[in-house]
Amino acid sequence: MIFKRNPSPGLRPFIKSLWLTDETSVQRPLGLDREHVLPTSEMHLVLRLSDNPLRLFDNDIDTRGRIIGCAIVGGARSTFYVRDISKPQYSAGAQLLPGAAQILFGVPADELAERHTPLADLWGQSANLAYEQILEAGSPERKLNLLESLLAARFPTVRGLHPAVARALEQFWRTNDVHKVVTGSGYSHRQFIALFRRATGLSPKLYCRILRFQKVLERISAHPSAPLVDLALDAGYSDQPHFTREFREFAGVSPEQYRKVSPLSAHHVPVLLSPHCLPGR
């Protein structure tokens, strides 16, 4: 069960959506204990409300993993990560837009990129208080309302993105010509990259690559029987080898494997372990 809604108008420049998922009644097949979570170019805040902290693995055959916590900030990423899904999840969170990191967490997005950070490392004791309040809030709607209120309290003065970054984000949906966008910004290449990284956590070139990857995921979902090479060319890839190489980098599986799995959520690819890799074996 998924509850999802848009934030109030004052938060929309920085928060894309608020959500709550309840998978406590989901039964998973034996061996389906982990999944690849694919990059989206955005950050997220997650509060795991069940007794099930985030556990990450270094790869598909890592049997130990490492525990991150129950309140986590996920930075923008340039590739997939592997997480434990062996226990039912009950979580609330927010998907964050460029510019939110500096205001919500007091650090630029590039300092949080490519990793998961416990919220307590950024908010101190306030993180534990926020977690307990949301845990006790009752209905999903009340939990989301409280989460939104707690986030809104962190915006004492609403400040917009740097104009050059805001303009570039809009242009990158239409073109992946980074050089042209940077030249048009009026800043040097080095200055622009620094501004862009602080807001998004990623370089402009990497950001555009992930946007192209997002486009091809949408096309695969919308056209399940269309030739993959046609979908790739339509999304902006130069040829099939380029597409396959980059897809593996971002997803950890080939385009053919991804289509065969047919994940229910485009960014969550289940990984079926062989019996000798199961915990306790």
Q: Facing residues of 93 across strands?
A: 19, 46
Measure the CA–CA gap between 30 and 23, rounded to whole angstroms: 16
User: Going by DSSP bridges, is the β-strand pair 71-74/90-96 parallel, antiparallel, or unpaired?
Assistant: unpaired
Closest to 79 (Cα-Cα) out of 62, 96, 59: 59
Per-residue pLDDT of the chain (281 residues; tens, 9 = 90+): 788 999 988 788 889 999 999 987 777 777 788 999 999 999 999 999 998 999 999 999 998 999 999 999 999 999 999 999 988 889 999 999 998 999 899 999 999 999 999 999 999 999 999 999 999 998 999 999 999 999 988 876 546 678 899 899 989 988 889 999 999 988 999 999 999 999 999 999 999 999 999 999 999 999 989 999 999 999 989 999 999 999 999 999 999 999 998 888 889 999 866 544 444 44
- Please tell me what DSSP assigns to residue 69: E
Q: Coil, strand, or helix at residue 141?
A: helix
The amino acid that residue 95 corresponds to is Q
CATH topology of domain 2-152: Jelly Rolls (2.60.120)
How wide is the angle at C-alpha 111 spanned by C-alphas 216 and 80, nearest 5°? Answer: 30
Structure tokens at 200: 């998004």
CB atoms within 10 A of CB 281: 9
DSSP 108: -
Domain boundary assignment for the chain: 2-152
pTM: 0.86
